C-alpha cells in the first residue's frame, strides 16, 4: 500500500478503542465522545454491525437509553465506502465485525480520521472476542471500562452468560448476561 508522505501541519488520524465487559458503559462512552466531536463542529459518522438490532435498527443505544443515529453495515469495507469527508468515525460493537475491520480502521486513520471503536474484549467464556485483540494491538489510545459485579460489588471484567447456549454470539441483555468479577465468574 502506497502512503503519501506526511506534510507538516497536515491533520493526522488515530484509533481509540473502548473495551470492557457487558454493562461497563462502552456505548455510553462512545456516544459521549461523538457528541463532544459534534459540539466541536466536526463531521461525524457512526457505524454498527447490521446484526445488532437489540434496541434499534439504525441507532446505537446504551443501556442507559442514550442513543445516536448510526448506519448499520454488513461488512467492514462498507465503512470505507460510506465515510467521505468526515473528521470522526464511531464504530460500535466491533467484536461482531469481520477481521477486515482492523485494516479498515487503519486506512481511516491514515486518511487523517479519528476512529473511535467500542466493543467487548472478551466473550462469555472469557476468551478474546473477534477482531478486538488486533484492534487493541494497533490502537493509539485504549480505554478499558469495568462494570460492577452483580454478586459481590467488586469491579467486573467478565460477561457471564446465564443461559446454557454455547454459540459465541447470542444477542441479549440482562435477561441473558450479567457482569461478574474474576472470582464470581469462576464460581459460575
Alpha helices in 53-148 (DSSP H): 77-81, 101-110, 132-138
State the pLDDT at residue 9: 60
Catalytic hit among 59, 93, 166, 173? 93
Cβ atoms within 10 A of the Cβ of 49, count? 21
Cβ atoms within 10 A of the Cβ of 136, count? 18
- Ranges of each domain in the chain: 14-146
Q: Which residues pair with 47 in a beta bridge?
A: 71, 91
Cβ atoms within 10 A of the Cβ of 134, count? 16
Residue written as grid cell 460500535: 92
pLDDT tens string, the chain, 188 residues long: the values are 545 555 566 678 999 999 999 999 999 999 999 999 999 999 999 999 988 655 555 556 665 666 677 899 999 999 999 998 999 999 999 999 999 999 999 999 999 999 999 999 999 999 999 999 999 999 999 999 999 999 999 999 999 998 887 777 665 666 789 999 999 999 87
Under 8 Å between Cβ of 124 and 159: yes
Q: Give the distance from CA 45 to its chain's centroid.
A: 14
Distance CA 88, CA 124 (A): 30
State the pLDDT at residue 2: 47
State the pLDDT at residue 82: 92
Q: Is 93 a catalytic residue?
A: yes
CATH number corresponding to 14-146 = 3.40.50.300
Residue 51 in grid coordinates: 446484526
With 0-12 / 13-18 / 19 or more C-beta atoms within 10 angstroms meaning exposed / middle / buried, residue 4 is exposed
State the pLDDT at residue 164: 81
Under 8 Å between Cβ of 112 and 88: no
Distance CA 155, CA 133 (A): 21
pTM: 0.87
Residue 130 in grid coordinates: 473477534
Residue written as grid cell 457512526: 46
Amino acid at each position: 500500500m502506497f502512503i503519501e508522505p506526511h506534510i507538516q501541519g497536515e491533520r493526522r488520524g488515530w484509533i481509540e478503542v473502548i473495551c470492557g465487559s457487558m454493562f461497563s458503559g462502552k456505548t455510553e462512552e462512545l456516544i459521549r465522545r461523538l457528541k463532544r466531536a459534534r459540539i466541536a463542529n466536526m463531521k461525524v459518522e457512526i457505524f454498527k454491525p447490521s446484526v445488532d438490532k437489540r434496541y434499534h435498527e439504525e441507532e446505537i443505544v446504551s443501556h442507559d437509553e442514550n442513543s445516536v443515529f448510526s448506519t448499520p453495515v454488513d461488512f467492514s469495507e462498507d465503512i470505507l465506502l460510506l465515510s467521505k469527508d468526515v473528521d470522526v468515525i464511531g464504530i460500535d460493537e466491533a467484536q461482531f465485525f469481520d477481521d477486515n475491520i482492523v485494516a479498515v480502521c487503519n486506512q481511516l486513520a491514515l486518511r487523517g480520521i479519528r476512529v473511535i471503536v467500542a466493543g467487548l474484549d472478551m466473550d462469555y467464556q472469557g476468551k478474546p472476542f473477534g477482531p478486538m485483540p488486533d484492534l487493541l494491538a494497533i490502537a493509539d489510545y485504549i480505554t478499558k471500562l469495568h462494570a460492577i459485579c452483580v454478586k459481590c460489588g467488586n469491579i467486573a471484567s467478565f460477561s457471564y452468560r446465564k443461559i446454557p447456549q454455547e454459540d459465541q454470539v447470542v444477542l441479549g441483555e440482562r435477561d441473558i448476561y450479567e457482569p461478574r468479577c474474576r472470582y464470581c465468574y469462576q464460581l459460575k
